[in-house]
Chains A and B, each alone.
Chain A
């Protein structure tokens, strides 16, 4: 069985953002493999290590710099990588078609997608590519086992968790707690440089465009209350009632 795993090159959580002419601008070195995608790479590699999969293919859609995220996935244990290269800022629904085609082209029957992307704050790609493929979706997955041709999983729902089962092929999105991703070792980083990485140009129409971007900051009172516990507590209670009017 072949497993595909989607990876995205996203701004590091600590990266400093600037909004310039209505676009969010960042240096190339402020990007890294999305943490939510790392869970999917790790899960795919573990299934291969357990003898349940033959090959792990990392797939990315994005600009040339996305190669860095794919190389990280290769260093973590993926066998080969495919980059659908575009400089366009594509919304998840626009990506769903090309990603589904790439998934079918590599023969995968299980596709991992990060539960939520740290750039668009989007959880839409997994469901959208599942729709494009016509496969069932297990989202926010915290446990997954392969039992022959059957996937048995546990995933988060609005008010708790739920058991989920389906025969392959399926799309699975990740949730924290799924696993503890490994760190790439230096020898594996070196090895990853020699693993195959295929580039294909991508042209597809966006379904959503960004008109403007801003970095809002909500004005906060920023009041520091000082004194012993009883003093600050009664001062806080009074201000919450009389000043903020929330009690």
Chain B
């Protein structure tokens, strides 16, 4: 049986949850979903029941804002009770921390941050990027069960199933080690804009913008007009123009939108590793030799202060 762990926010599954449903259906076999959280997570479980035959809701409000240890214990007990051979979870920050713990606790293997996963006879095999996303590796788990963290955007969003599934609520027993870490204030970066990993269009600004005010006016301005996510390079974050959670690259987020604008971005390897799965890439930079042009579908060598206002008018003028 395959168990998928559902990420959710504000009473709804995140888009990644539906991507995991697609991955599970492709793998084949019985599928169940697990939702962690108090009563506010009940609608999440109900929503998932339209997609998978069986949903387990670990109904415990202590899981609404819980340590990695506590979440691992909850997932491990559900996985063990169901006797699963594969657990799928999203490779966001939380999934990347819980996945290894869960795999080790279940005595299994971890296939991490994969772009595709399949069965090869009894084995589970995956494709994943490595070496700052410059190489693609085919990897096989040598022990079971197999915990697989799936790269956001790697699979399409699934369609509902023909017949609705059922939801069962349960509780889980926690141990002393689950409560050692105490979590404090959470500062959410929500700014009423689409989440970067879920955006169809991402507008990214680099050091070439010159200053924070130009970034706000040109990059954020274009993003708001397109309903796009706003991203930054490391140089911009280090300069204090923009917050960390907008950073795309090795130490930031990994995105794969349909359309990616790289504006004033030079294209360091570390940045490319976070965006090179994007569909169409547009680069605007005043330096025609910038490495970003090597990964661009459309390149414009020019002054951002002239090109971007012109682009906004041109986009507004499309019928």
Contacts and interface: CB of A to CB of B under 8 A. Distances in A.
B138 A210 contact: yes
B245 A207 contact: no
A159 interface: yes
A207 to B, nearest CB: 4
A209 B301 CA distance: 44
Contacts of A176: 234, 238, 244, 251
Given A229-B310, A246-B258, A223 B297 contact: yes
B194 interface: no
A213 interface: yes
A247 B182 CA distance: 46
B93 A157 contact: yes
A211 B127 CA distance: 10
A239 B187 CA distance: 40
B244 A224 contact: no
Interface residues of B, number: 95
A93 B299 contact: no
A115 B250 CA distance: 10
Given A207-B142, A244-B259, A119 B131 contact: yes
Interface in A151-177: 156-167, 170, 175-177
Contacts of A226: 301
Contacts of B259: 240, 244, 246-247
A137 B129 contact: no
A17 B135 contact: yes
Interface stretch (A50-58, A64-72, A76-84, A138-146): A138-146
Contacts of A223: 297-299
Contacts of B134: 17, 215
Given A156-B93, A221-B298, A237-B317, A162 B187 contact: yes
Interface residues of A, number: 85
Contact of A165 (B184, B234, B237): B184
Interface string B171-205: 00000010011111111111000010000010000
B190 A127 contact: no
B277 to A, nearest CB: 8
A197 interface: no
Interface of B: 7, 9, 67-69, 72, 92-94, 96-101, 103-105, 108-113, 125, 128-143, 177, 180-190, 195, 201, 234, 237-238, 244-245, 250-251, 258-259, 268-270, 273, 276-277, 279-282, 293-303, 306-307, 309-311, 313-315, 317-318
